Amino acid sequence: MTTAVVDALPRKDLLGALAVCSAIGVGTVYFPQALLPHVAASLQVSVANAALIVTAPQAGYAAGILALVPLGDAGIQRRLLTILFCCTSASAFLAAAAPSLPILVLASFLMGCATVASPVIGPYAAGMTGSSRLGSVNSILLSIGIPAMIASRAIAGFLGEHYSWRYAYLGAAVLTLACAVVACTRLPLPTNVVPVNFPAYLLRPLTQLRLHAGLRRSAFYQMCTFAGFAGTWATLVLLLRDNFGLGADALGWISLVAIATMAVVPLTGRLVDRLNPDVVTSWILAGTCLAAVLMLGAVLGGPLGLTLLIAGVLVLDVAMQSGMVANVTRIYRLDPSTRSAMNTAYMVCAYGAGAFGSWTAVRLYNSLGWWTVPTFVTTLAAAAAVAHVRRRSGGSR
């Protein structure tokens, strides 16, 4: 679909429908993080093996982005989103009925592959937005997605603690099926559909990575921050159980601190529009290191340790979400005609790193303890900061 681009946001009702569908899609990637100990106990497997239910949706998300999101440049978003939400719902139903861990992991991977609504919707909304408002529209989509991430973890943790982890997957199946109905009935009919040479479309993200240094930088920054973010949340439920004697539903309550992020992310979008993404990126990487230092305080235990942990989680959430706004705005300004392909390359890198971060952090925690997780976060943020400083110094010269 092509829409006249003006210096304004898309129509409010359309933007609202897109934001809600995007938020539900994002929530389906994150809610398994609260179910880890319950799945391990129910299916009689180790926590390390059960961690695959956290890694599999993220790996599937990366694969789905690579294979499907480039089709957004063909102008078939309405049909594409309807099919994706239907497939997500079917995969979630399969996960809810899974009799063993291998089937649950397979269903989780397929669910991740299909729930790529957000990276389809982002470029779609950007195509209706003027270049000077890209940061604002990105922050609107993201700030509405934050409550979905909070609610998905909170509800999944509650269901896992008091009922069954299977109910969380059933809920995801129902919600994504509703999104399929919304996409089919509320989104405009396409007016300009481009014929798709599917194999060639699969190569477009690689081509964009080769052509645009700004895309490569954005992807690397987000890989570093998101791997640490995903690793933190994958191990947080284990830390709460081991160090503080709290159940999985406590993860949902701690997630509520991210409500503050809802207020910060729109401000980040305006700052990106007013200044530039590179300035905001410097603050974000510094904030990520600060978050790791605060989270390390959890080793103290007791009320002080829990307070420092919650503060660190809040700062980390603000940094990661703000980084998403800055990085996506940077790449959307490069070439409007290939935004879906660039978003594909960016998101594959980010969620591939997220899967790696979850897998690595759980094993670090089980082997050496919590202190290794904030160290992991700091190491990744420092790598991004070094690359960012070198690039800005070179630009100044």
Which of 64-68, 107-111, 112-116, 324-328 is predicted with the least confidence, judged by mean pLDDT?
Answer: 64-68
Say how far apart CA 89 and CA 175 lie, in whole Å.
Answer: 8
Which of 62-71, 154-163, 196-205, 347-356 is predicted with the least confidence, judged by mean pLDDT?
Answer: 196-205
Q: Coil, strand or helix: which one is 247?
A: coil
Say how far apart CA 324 and CA 329 lie, in whole Å.
Answer: 8
- Note the residue count of the chain: 397
- pLDDT tens-digit readout, 329-379: 888 778 777 777 787 888 888 878 887 898 899 889 988 989 999 999 999
Q: Give the H or E element holding residue 156.
A: helix 134-162
Find out whether 14 and 172 touch, Cβ atoms under 8 Å.
no
What angle is formed at CA 145 by the lines to CA 139 and CA 148, rounded to 5 degrees?
160
Which of 42-51, 117-126, 162-171, 379-388 is predicted with the least confidence, judged by mean pLDDT?
Answer: 117-126
Say how far apart CA 250 and CA 301 lie, in whole Å.
Answer: 16
Q: Give the H or E element holding residue 144.
A: helix 134-162
Structural domains in the chain plus CATH codes? 12-188+207-396 (1.20.1250.20)
Structure tokens at 315: 């700062």
**Residue the block writes with tokens 């503050």:** 260
- pLDDT tens-digit readout, 117-155: 777 776 666 665 555 555 556 566 666 666 677 777 778
Say how far apart CA 105 and CA 32 lie, in whole Å.
Answer: 11
